[in-house]
């Protein structure tokens, strides 16, 4: 499975290989199925980190 990428489909709420739904409906690519299955959790963590950064940046003004 060298180099195979995985995606999370937002329309069908499932993990898919490259040959899946259209790119506009997916998150990824991810290195494996397990990581792709966590796509929404990863996105939430990244959003929270960006929000924290923005708040800290605003407080420095």
pLDDT tens for each residue of the chain, 61 residues long: 568 999 999 999 999 999 999 999 999 999 999 999 999 999 999 999 999 999 988 887 6
The reply to whether 1 falls in a domain is no
Total number of domains in the chain? 1
pLDDT value of residue 2 = 64
Domain-located, residue 17: yes
Residue 34: the pLDDT is 98
Cα–Cα distance, 56 to 50 (Å, whole number): 10
Please state, in angstroms and rounded to a whole number, the distance separating the CA atoms of residues 27 and 50: 18
Task: Please check whether residue 18 lies inside any domain of the structure.
Answer: yes
31 occurs within a structural domain: yes
pLDDT at residue 58 in the model: 84
User: What is the residue range of 43's domain?
Assistant: 6-59
């Amino acid at each position: 499975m060298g180099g195979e990428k995985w995606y999370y489909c937002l329309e069908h709420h499932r993990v898919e290989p490259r040959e899946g739904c259209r790119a506009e409906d997916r998150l990824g690519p991810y290195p494996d199925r397990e990581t792709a299955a966590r796509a929404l959790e990863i996105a939430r963590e990244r959003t929270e980190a960006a929000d924290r950064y923005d708040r800290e940046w605003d407080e420095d003004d």
